[in-house]
Structure 1
Amino acid sequence: MYFYARKRVSSPASRGVEGGYYDWRRRQPAETRRESANRVLLGQIREVFEASDQTYGSPRVWRQLQKNGVCCGENRVARLMQKAGLRAAVPDRAWPRTTVPDPRLLAFENVLERDFAAEAPDMKWAADITYIPTEEGWLYLSVVLDLSSRRVVGWAMKPTLGRALATDALEMALRQRSPDEGLIHHSDRGCQYASEDQREILTDHCMLGSMSRLGNCLDNAPVESFLSTLKTEHVRRRRYQTRSEAKRDLFQYIEVFYNRKRLHSALGYVSPMEFETQHHPSRETSLAAEG
């Protein structure tokens, strides 16, 4: 018995069905509306992240997006950042301290007593010193922080750790702010802040000196936090060849980014200058007039 295979003849209808099936197999899955929205949002997240010099985590990125008019959830931002590998800078090493008390110099009492709240600018200032590594050697940075707005109101940078470092920063703050009598100036017990030059400036401007307890950095927590942020977000990610290069870069961070742009969690996620403008506009106007 012989069997003959019948040649299969497909109809035009069946060929159309088969062609559509194979066309579907060849096509890539279409992007969903949600995926498209996430792609656009991730682009906006990257812009904010890069504008912060890669220092913002998801809470600050989300806050900045809200200010930019982008409607999204904080958890969604965090999820997209994690998936894209966008991580904020974190501390990875300890930094040496610069507080060197001089037993021959008188120290101020701790008048501030960790009461860091201030109803208005230029009522309470906090000061501290740190140092920045460069290929030429250490660059010492002194800052004066207003505790109301967390704004850096005075700073100085020098290659040596002398008393002029602290006095120059304080004098800069006084030139810029012209505070009323009775301002509390708080610092650690370093010899730069206990010097006769420092005391003379405080007396001449009717300021009240205050100092942390020996070895207790929490007594000066806000300015310690600022210096930690500076090192974590900025300094440790750079390699300065010269002190001049470091000075230019630190100026950009303090005056251009931190004071004017960086969202501060203690201020409701606005920058120090925004905070002063929003809450004390008369103060900002008077400063602009004096300048």
Structure 2
Amino acid sequence: MLCELFNVASSCYYEFKQRKPDASRIRLASQIKELFNMSRGSAGSRTLVSMLSEEGIKAGRFKVRQIMREADLMSKQPGSHRYRHAKVERPDIPNLLKREFSVSTPNRVWCGDITYIWSGSKWTYLAVVLDLFSRRVVGWSLSDKPDTELVSKALEMAWEQRGCPKNVMFHSDQGCQYSSRKYRQRLWRYRITQSMSRRGNCWDNAPMERLFRSLKTEWIPATGYLTQAQAKKDISHYLMSYYNRQRPHQANDGLSPVNAENRLKSVSGIC
């Protein structure tokens, strides 16, 4: 009688009663939601497929995208930005990197840059050092002043954490912090070769621009942080935990930076 009332075929009703829930799909949906929430809503279907793969779960992008649509999960998408182009190099610190961002081994090329973050009632400045081999953050520093001390602390952290390496090239923009005498003396002390982008050309330091874009669009709250201490704790978690150890990178064939370096160690036999 109800089937006739709602104009539903009785065979469809009995088929629906016999249908069993797909336990594996329910588990997969739960794992996708967990990873999506861990990324603070920034992971899309491609990223989620890579994250699931690192956990030993095989799932196609179409299936993940379908589950995301069913669960109403929509990833954050950064807006477009128009970049300027320039060709002016510093004669004393040339652009040695020349956009050769593919590096075969760790501790050969590091990149650095500074960005600003709102915390409390003022700007807080973040300096980061990135290893181009795996796109791993190897040093960072936070301060309320965008001075040479800020970038020096980030470099010192990278140099110590990576075991005081030799024959490293450090690339940055032409900011006064990186071209200051104090910073250049620090590079000379560490026996690090300095390279600088052309003036106003952010494409010469694209990996750093990509890192800061990911940080601001994926992680930092739209209204900023309440205090600098809160900003330091949350940004530290993003850089050293989520970004380095969990977030997949296309440059690493879908592996996180730490897993990419571990893969190199296992292949080459490096301890």
Short-chain TM bin: 0.7 to 0.9
* Equivalent position to 1:154, from 116, 139, 150: 139
Residue 257 of structure 1 and its aligned partner are, at CA, apart by 1.2
1:220 paired with 2:205, answer yes
Alignment of 1:1-291 (within 5 A): 29-30=16-17, 32=19, 37-92=24-79, 108-237=93-222, 239-280=224-265, 285=271
Amino acid at match of 1:60: T
Larger deviation, residues 23-32 vs 50-59: 23-32
Q: Cα–Cα, structure 1 residues 93 and 162, in superposed 2: closer, same or farther, change >3 Å?
A: farther
Contact 2:51 2:247 (8 Å CA) reproduced? no
- Confirm or deny: 8 A CA contact 1:122 1:179 kept in the other structure: no
> Which amino acid in structure 2 is aligned with residue 66 of structure 1?
S
**Which runs of no fewer than 5 residues in structure 1 stay unpaired?**
1-22, 95-104, 286-291
How far apart are residue 284 of structure 1 and its match? Answer: 7.3
Aligned to 2:85: none
C-alpha contact 2:120 2:225 (8 A) present in aligned 1 = yes
Output the CA distance in 2 between the equivalents of 1:280 and 1:26. 58
- Structure 2 distance, partners of 1:25, 1:33, is 14
Identical residues among aligned pairs (%): 36
Specify whether residues 111 and 247 from structure 1 end up closer, same or farther in structure 2 by C-alpha distance, changes over 3 A only. Answer: same
Bigger mean CA offset, 136-145 vs 169-178? 169-178
Change (3 A) 1:145 1:25: closer
RMSD: 3.0
Do 2:159 and 2:165's aligned partners in 1 also have CA atoms closer than 8 Å? no
> Are residues 25 and 256 of structure 1, via their aligned partners in 2, closer, same or farther at CA, if it must alter by over 3 Å?
closer
Query: 2: CA distance between counterparts of 1:239 and 1:284?
Result: 41
Gaps in structure 2 of 5+ consecutive residues? 1-9, 82-89
SS at match of 1:260: helix
Report the alpha carbon displacement of residue 263 of structure 1 after superposing the two structures with TM: 1.3
Instruction: Kindly provide the amino acid, as one letter, of the partner of residue 260 in structure 1.
Output: R
Rounded Cα–Cα distance in structure 1 between residues aligned with 2:18 and 2:179 = 66
Offset at residue 199 of structure 1 (A):
0.6
1-structure distance, mates of 2:171, 2:115: 16
Report which structure shows greater RCO (CA 8 Å, sep ≥6).
2
Q: Is the 8 A contact 2:197 2:205 kept in 1?
A: yes
- C-alpha deviation, 1:40, in angstroms: 3.7
User: 1: CA distance between counterparts of 2:55 and 2:188?
Assistant: 46
Equivalent position of 1:16 in the other structure: none
Shift of 1:35: 5.8
Once the two structures are TM-superposed, the CA of residue 107 in structure 1 deviates from its matched residue by: 5.3
Q: Does the 8 Å CA contact 1:276/1:284 hold for their aligned counterparts?
A: no
Distance 1:54 1:260 in 2: 18
Normalised TM-score (structure 2): 0.85
1: CA distance, partners of 2:165 / 2:269: 12
Equivalent AA in structure 1 for residue 64 of structure 2 = V
Aligned mates of 1:114, 1:239 — CA distance in 2 = 32
Q: 1:181 to 1:80 in 2, by over 3 A?
A: same
The offset of 1:239, in angstroms, is 3.5
3-state secondary structure, aligned to 1:169: helix
- 8 A Cα contact 2:127 2:154, kept in partner: yes
Deviations, residues 224-270 of structure 1 (Å, cap 9, x unaligned): 11111111101144631111111111111111211111111211111
Q: For residues 92 and 163 of structure 2, what CA distance do their matches in structure 1 show?
A: 25
